[in-house]
């Protein structure tokens, strides 16, 4: 039995992953953006090991989420599932960051830094990370004209790179990135054509399975099969530069 924390578990892939792992007998710590959103977890809350609340677009609330998780106890795995897709404008967070960057990249970075180190980390990527820009100039979109699709692609390149940077720096942790595919969730839309079940079962498999193929680190997965990520994500120099940039933006050092 494993204890697993899942961000963004009120709906979509996160909710499906939580439901699957609870049904398999694992201890699951749920996450909701607000107490109002937590109401949608009534079907799982009574069977969960805990519930933490905090808006991941806020650095301060993300740090509080980490504190709540640590108060419950050490996790065996953390699934960084929460994310936003196409946000119409920069939409500054309380700390002044672009919301897309804050939720998709800064929050996983902060949580990875502050949550007591688990045995496994799973980061939700996207096939669109391959269209992300490898330039780290103005990653917070302060000077550039806002482009919602490019901002999303960049944020997913960055979180994929984070997964591989951790795999390289923390050899005692299995850290992987997962492309769930274009699945019919609230984010993906009803017209999405990929397999919703495989979208979340890859996450849960990497989080708890003892199968030899799942006991690896620094890999990029799609439907339980390894794929080649963007070249930049596996480049140690790019990883180090990104980690330095995220540390500067958040004021929190990962390594």
| Active-site option among 109, 123, 152, 222 | 152
Range scoring the smallest mean pLDDT among 41-45, 66-70, 117-121: 41-45
Q: Among this protein's residues, is 85 annotated catalytic?
A: no
**Continuous H helices in the chain:** 12-23, 35-38, 42-45, 59-72, 99-101, 107-114, 148-169, 196-208, 236-250
pLDDT, tens only, 71-84: 999 999 999 999 99
What residues have CB less than 8 Å from 101, skipping those under 6 apart?
A: 139, 140, 141, 151, 154, 155, 158
Q: Give just the sign of the alpha carbon dihedral 47, 185, 151, 142.
A: negative
| Sole residue written with tokens 């940039």 | 245
Quote the pLDDT of residue 197: 66
Residue 134 CB neighbours (<10 A):
15
Domain ranges of the chain: 3-250
User: pLDDT category, 226, cuts 50, 70, 90?
Assistant: very high
3-state secondary structure (DSSP) of residue 89: coil
Radius of gyration of the chain (CA): 17
Q: Which of 54, 73, 61 is nearest to 116 (CA)?
A: 73
How far lies 184's CA from each of 48, 106, 169, 206, 224, in Å? Answer: 25, 25, 35, 22, 18
Q: Among this protein's residues, is 156 annotated catalytic?
A: yes
CATH number of 3-250: 3.40.50.720
Whole-model pTM: value is 0.94
| Active-site option among 19, 109, 123, 156 | 156
How many whole angstroms separate alpha carbon 247 and alpha carbon 237?
15
pLDDT, tens only, 141-188: 999 999 999 999 999 999 999 999 999 999 999 999 999 976 444 554
Q: Give just the sign of the alpha carbon dihedral 191, 195, 199, 200.
A: positive
pLDDT over threshold 80, residue 192: no
pLDDT over threshold 70, residue 194: no
Joined tokens for residue 25:
């007998």
Mean pLDDT of 183-195: 48
How many whole angstroms separate alpha carbon 245 and alpha carbon 32?
28
What residues have CB less than 8 Å from 93, skipping those under 6 apart?
A: 57, 58, 59, 99, 102
How many whole angstroms separate alpha carbon 86 and alpha carbon 135?
20
Q: Which of 30, 25, 38, 26 is nearest to 6 (CA)?
A: 30
Quote the pLDDT of residue 41: 84
């Amino acid at each position: 039995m494993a204890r697993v924390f899942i961000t963004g578990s009120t709906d979509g892939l996160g909710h499906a992953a939580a439901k699957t792992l609870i049904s398999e007998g694992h201890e699951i710590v749920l996450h909701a953006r607000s107490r109002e959103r937590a109401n949608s977890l009534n079907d799982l809350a009574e069977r969960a090991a805990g519930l933490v609340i905090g808006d991941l677009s806020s650095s301060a609330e993300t740090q509080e989420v980490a504190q709540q998780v640590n108060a419950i106890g050490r996790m065996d795995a953390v699934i960084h599932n929460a994310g936003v897709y196409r946000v119409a404008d920069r939409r500054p967070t309380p700390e002044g960051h672009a919301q897309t960057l804050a939720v998709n990249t800064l929050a996983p970075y902060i949580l990875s830094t502050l949550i007591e180190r688990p045995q496994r980390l799973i980061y939700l990527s996207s096939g669109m990370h391959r269209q992300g820009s490898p330039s780290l100039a103005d990653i917070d979109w302060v000077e550039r004209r806002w482009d919602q699709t490019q901002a999303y692609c960049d944020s997913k390149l960055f979180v994929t790179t984070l997964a591989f940077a951790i795999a390289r720096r923390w050899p005692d942790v299995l850290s992987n990135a997962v492309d769930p595919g274009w699945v019919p969730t609230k984010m993906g839309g009803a017209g999405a054509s990929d397999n919703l079940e495989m979208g979340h079962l890859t996450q849960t498999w990497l989080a708890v399975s003892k199968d030899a193929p799942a006991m690896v680190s620094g890999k990029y997965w799609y439907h339980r099969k390894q794929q080649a990520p963007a070249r930049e994500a596996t480049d140690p120099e790019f990883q180090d530069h990104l980690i330095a940039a995220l540390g500067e933006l958040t004021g929190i050092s990962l390594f």
